[in-house]
Chains A and B, each alone.
Chain A
């Protein structure tokens, strides 16, 4: 067995650990599932990576994917933990009580997961792939959010997703991870809810100011005009 030193190239510049963990945030190792490593301290990031690798080793033997999922999730929670307990940054809290029974209310699904029907890309037929979208993150963050309309009878296996802020390959494998239209259809057939004819998705990585001041109020007006009573929102 060779030791690591056997492979060290004395002429190559060593990559620092800080550069390595930062490279997960839209860098050489861009990975939306682990980009939080860039915001951790070196020590916390090292601990998180070591724990995940150790768990990978265990799971190779045990097959306990739930254990691996838990370790990955916990590391992500630590990675995004705010320094101080969160407090409201807005003064008002608009609230509309449900005015009728859920079975009589018209419900629309609205996901921020960048979901759209295959062949109906909101960015056009030559829209970027998931991988290409990561290079466009700044354009997304400056641009307006576009609303995809998804008919209620759309087969879920004809949906796809693209999003420069999370790894939408998960949603490409199973759109219901972020757009549970099939489950809502099941519940509608059981009489639990009544679905609107149209559901919606957009890419949550977008200009926050424009969304707050222009886009979201316009969407609300559009849905109210279509007599939508209830919206089921999904963040990613």
Chain B
């Protein structure tokens, strides 16, 4: 549900001229393929820990940096970056 909602919001923002990157978890990756999310970073974390485990600042920072890099690198909609398990 949440991933579907983020997909809808990302599409609305892009349509209004705002660039987006969406970060989500592997279990719901298919939702973003269905919604053609513009730019997606997919983490191998359990639901509810999208950016990284509690207190794991190094993993969290890497995920945020991956999102920023994708904003710069993506040249077409539906660009996905799948991150390996990081902790």
Contacts and interface: CB of A to CB of B under 8 A. Distances in A.
Interface of A: 32-33, 36, 66, 69-70, 72-73, 76-77, 79-80, 82, 86-90, 92-99, 102, 105, 110, 112-113, 141, 145, 163, 165-168, 170-171, 173-174, 176-180, 183-184, 186-187, 192-193, 202, 204-206, 208, 211-212, 216-217, 219-221, 223-224, 228-236
Nearest to B11: A94
Contact of B77 (A95, A105, A230, A234): A95
Contact of A217 (B16, B31, B47, B71): B16
7 contacts: A77-B26, A180-B63, A205-B5, A217-B12, A221-B16, A230-B21, A232-B64
B34 A219 contact: no
Interface residues of B, number: 63
Given A73-B85, A204-B2, A204-B3, 8 more contacts: A77-B26, A177-B48, A205-B2, A208-B8, A216-B9, A233-B10, A234-B23, A234-B50
B33 A235 contact: no
B49 A229 contact: no
A141 to B, nearest CB: 8
Interface in B29-50: 29-31, 33-36, 38, 44-50
Contact of A97 (B2, B35, B75): B75
A76 B25 CA distance: 10
Contact of B19 (A90, A97, A110): A97
Given A79-B27, A96-B19, A236-B50, A73 B9 contact: no
Contact of A93 (B9, B36, B52): B36
A141 B4 CA distance: 13
B75 to A, nearest CB: 7
A224 B51 CA distance: 26
Given A235-B24, A235-B50, A193 B68 contact: yes
B15 to A, nearest CB: 4
A233 B22 contact: yes
Given A187-B68, A216-B8, A233-B10, A204 B38 contact: no
Interface of B: 1-6, 8-31, 33-36, 38, 44-55, 57, 60-61, 63-65, 67-68, 71-72, 75-78, 85, 87
Contacts of B3: 204, 235
B12 A216 contact: yes
Contacts of A206: 1, 5
